[in-house]
Homo-oligomer: A and B are copies of this chain.
């Protein structure tokens, strides 16, 4: 087993690169920070993610640059470290394209193995970096045919050092997976949200929680998402064609009384898919019971509610605040394990809360 001793060179000091640096620095690993943007590297250094000048040759290089440049930087780093034999990985959210790009640009890829730390934020840049960004997150490792097993091993050590849970899968499987659970949902959200740009405000007045949930991720940076979805265009094209087929089925069935079963089948498929999305802690959808509580919209009410909930012994597994426009009072939905619900309702009701199951 290869040990992660360092130094680790991080190329690209955005959110991901800086957070990896901070996580390693907290373990005492020497981190070298490299960024074409000198300001970013300086900021990352100032917040303790590593140093801009390190004498020793790196044991491991982590490429954390924007998606479009990953392959070229991997190739360049492999060449620069040909003498020392350093392992090279990257942190891009798509794995086939960087591999293909690197393969086109350099010879031997045995010292390279791709990886994808699955954590992020709507924030960007080194100042958004956090040592605990990857705590408990999933970190996919995607060996290719010529990856050296030692390289795979060292990248696993990196992920574990950052606090993540590793999952190993092929490059192709990874890209299909993220196409399904990340890139396609983003595009569908963007298409749905796109129809609102020219909507009269009287229509938007009718908005509820559903449209807020569906369109939330569409607010992400269009330029960054252009790079992400472009890099995964093969997997996404297949899925989008499948969506187009279903959309055509929908358009044919809609409004024809004799095609109601067809509509129900399409909606039923959606319902089956929705319940497959894992909930908290990566379990395959924990059974939870929800309880609705009405709360006055002023400071301190949530505190009072959660203090009362805690005294009932229930652990709140999930919660949501309902924002129906115009409500003077809020409504909080608490999700708890079935075994806790009776006691929770009793305690909250005793303390004067309006509770609905």
Q: Are A325 and B278 in contact, CB atoms less than 8 angstroms apart? A: yes
Q: Are A191 and B246 in contact, CB atoms less than 8 angstroms apart? A: yes
- CB neighbours (8 Å) of A233 from chain B are 254-255
- CB neighbours (8 Å) of A255 from chain B are 230, 233-234, 237
Q: Are B135 and A329 in contact, CB atoms less than 8 angstroms apart? A: yes
Surface stretch bound by B, among A29-37, A55-63, A99-107, A307-315: A307-315
Q: Are A205 and B254 in contact, CB atoms less than 8 angstroms apart? A: no
Surface stretch bound by B, among A2-10, A78-86, A143-151, A267-275: A267-275
Assuming the contacts A201-B284, A210-B186, asked whether A270 and B181 have C-beta atoms less than 8 A apart, the reply is no
Q: How far is the CB of A175 from chain B (nearest CB, A)?
A: 10
Q: Are A310 and B303 in contact, CB atoms less than 8 angstroms apart? A: yes
Q: How far is the CB of A284 from chain B (nearest CB, A)?
A: 7
Q: Are A136 and B240 in contact, CB atoms less than 8 angstroms apart? A: no
A180-B196, A197-B276, A205-B278 known, 11 other contacts, Cβ within 8 Å: A132-B294, A137-B327, A188-B189, A190-B267, A190-B271, A193-B273, A213-B213, A226-B263, A226-B264, A281-B323, A283-B325
Enumerate chain A interface residues (CB-CB to B < 8 A).
Answer: 118-119, 121, 128, 130, 132, 135-138, 140, 165, 167, 169, 173-174, 176-178, 180-182, 184-197, 199-208, 210-223, 225-226, 229-230, 233-234, 236-237, 239-244, 246-248, 250-251, 254-255, 257, 260, 263-284, 292, 294, 297-300, 302-303, 305-310, 313-316, 318-321, 323-330, 354, 356
